[in-house]
Amino acid sequence: MTNGSSPAGCRAGAGHHVNVNDRGDPMPLSPELLSILVCPACKGDLVYEEGLRRLTCNACRLRYRIEDDIPVMLVEEAEKF
């Protein structure tokens, strides 16, 4: 990595590195991470909606967005549906 270039597999933007695949799409969350995440409001199971980049708790009816490959697991930031 020279001349300020980004490492392969990362896309820089606004001071963030986003892991991308060969097509330039955001990488899915790892199975290991998904296995430990629960809804912070009710501790219930979450449904990973990869194409929509969000985690959904059907029990609480809350959706948590994923930004820069990081789930935003704050109840006050969640979308109610």
Which of the residue ranges 7-11, 37-41, 67-71 has the most confident prediction, judged by mean pLDDT? 37-41
Per-residue confidence band for 34, with pLDDT thresholds at 50, 70 and 90: very high
Q: How many separate domains does the chain show?
A: 1
Full domain range(s) for residue 42 = 27-80
> Among candidates 25, 47, 7, 2, which has minimal Cα distance to 55?
47
Residue 28 is predicted with a pLDDT of: 87
Residue 67 lies in a domain: yes
Strand partners, 13: 16
**Domain for residue 12, yes or no?**
no
Q: Is residue 6, in this structure, part of any structural domain at all? A: no
d(CA 32, CA 45): 14
Tokens found for residue 19: 């892991």
Q: Is residue 49 part of a domain?
A: yes
Residue 2 lies in a domain: no
CA 60 to chain centre: 19
Mean pLDDT of the chain: 81
Can you give the CATH number for the domain in which 57 is found?
Answer: 2.20.25.10
Mean pLDDT over residues 30-47, rounded? 97
pLDDT value at position 19?
52
